[in-house]
Structure 1
């Protein structure tokens, strides 16, 4: 791997689409205070800050029953997403 490619890899900022859903959900339930920020503006802010959003793939969601069962189901989805992105 070249040095430039390695630096690009290290500087990559990634967030899962499930994080955006969770922020909006918790905000709507009154469990998250955003200091007056509308949750719908968070995506634009992340994109301007050069975050890459790992979208939830339909194939991943359709095969959720095949994921390892854990207490925290989000962690299982994050793990599968990360593995798919790195391959």
Structure 2
């Protein structure tokens, strides 16, 4: 049988936060902070993945530019 707490949990991929009616009534501010932190984790992970993709693209384009420059320079040197 599935635990009641599991159905109320939010999984951020790093930590699982469990919300129940009792804890929310007892500590509403703490739970708001947890939700804010969860949203920040999601945004940060999205931002990191976007910047990582952009860095990979930039490095790949730079590598192809360098390769074409090397080919151009070697032709100049050898006179081919």
* TM-score normalized by the length of structure 2: 0.25
Bigger Cα Rg: 2
> Hey, which of these two has a bigger chunk of helix by percent?
2
* TM-score normalized by the length of structure 1: 0.23
- RCO (CA 8 Å, sep 6+): is it higher in 1 or 2? 1
